[in-house]
Amino acid sequence: MKFPSPSSADAAVAITDLTRRFGLKAALDNVSLYVPRGGVFGLVGENGAGKTTLIKHILGLLRAETGSVRVFGLDPVADPVSVLGQIGYLSEQPDLPGWMRVEEFLRYSRAFYPNWDAAYAETLRAQFGLDPAQRIKTLSKGQRAKTGLLAAQAHRPKLLLLDEPSSGLDPMVRRDILEAVIRTVADEGRTVFFSSHLLEEIERVSDQIAMLHQGRLVLCGSLDEIKSRHRRYTLHFENAQPKPPIVAGALSVSGTGKEWSILCNGAGTVSPSIADGAAPPWSTPLANLPAPTQKAVLFLTWQ
């Protein structure tokens, strides 16, 4: 499956027929997608779907075995300096020097980027409520994420690359990253490439969406197109569930505890059903669900 684009030269990121294997496992299987310039591109998939492997190719940390990767028309492996100078990157677990103070880390990061905007960095530091004299090792997980994000975007990169940036963070910090930061960057005409295993996060801020499942691209398009072609269900349980429910035909299952979101193809009228052999068995069938663009709330209990 390919993300349509009139010209890959006009894309912030152009990936064509990319395959990557680790031993016998295909981490990426013939993936092609084009990330348009400007706006927010969301990449969703379960843990292990291939999201981080794809991002490592964009950064030039992995060389394509087959296919090609271009960032603003450049090969990130052949021309890493030119490519990385246009990218701000934040990983799921930022590797920050714990012995440094926040202000020292920002001065250190500034040396790598000729376009570092000191005034913008100070605005972000104040917005994030970071103490410049505090040592990084004493920061909370949310504060470390904000420090990494500040360093990733203080040079106003053309492409902000975020790999599961809000994983494990509290709702307030997630809101700061997803809404206050990502949308602001996009509104300035720059591009955000944002990956998450949480469909709700991707849906909240993205203009374009792609989904990876077991290394394959299973859907892609604008948010409006995705909503018109697919159904999203929310399942509520009386008791917290230790693992995701098994739903036949589901493209994505995400959530925790008592509430789980399921994304399915919207074609046809057949509702998704719980897979045979699920244990313990379901007591309430999935039936008579609403129109594709609506959110169905179903209360299910165990037998």
- Domain of 66 in residue numbering reads as 8-226
**Residue 19 belongs to a domain:** yes
Residues 145 and 262 in one domain: no
Q: Which of 158, 162, 147 is nearest to 55 (CA)?
A: 162
What would the pLDDT profile of 103-143 be if each residue is shown by its tens digit?
Answer: 999 999 999 888 999 999 999 999 889 999 999 999 988 88
**Residue 1 belongs to a domain:** no
Q: What's the number of domains the chain is made of?
A: 2
Residues 35 and 171 in one domain: yes
Residues 170 and 219 in one domain: yes
Residues 278 and 181 in one domain: no
Please report the pLDDT score of residue 9 as a whole number.
61
Band of the pLDDT at 175, cuts 50, 70, 90? confident
In which region does residue 183 sit, left (phi positive, over 0), alpha (psi from -120 to 50) or beta (all else)?
A: alpha
Please report the pLDDT score of residue 174 as a whole number.
73
Radius of gyration in angstroms for the set of CA atoms belonging to the chain, rounded to a whole number: 20
Cβ-in-10-Å burial (0-12, 13-18, 19+) of 80 comes to: middle
Residues 268 and 253 in one domain: yes
Residues 140 and 289 in one domain: no
Band of the pLDDT at 289, cuts 50, 70, 90? very low
Band of the pLDDT at 241, cuts 50, 70, 90? confident
What would the pLDDT profile of 139-161 be if each residue is shown by its tens digit?
Answer: 988 888 889 989 998 999 999 99
What would the pLDDT profile of 207-240 be if each residue is shown by its tens digit?
Answer: 898 989 889 998 888 877 777 777 777 788 878 8
**Residue 222 belongs to a domain:** yes
Name the strand (E) or helix (H) holding 83. helix 80-84
Residues 212 and 264 in one domain: no
Within 8 A by CB and 6+ apart from 269, the residues are: none
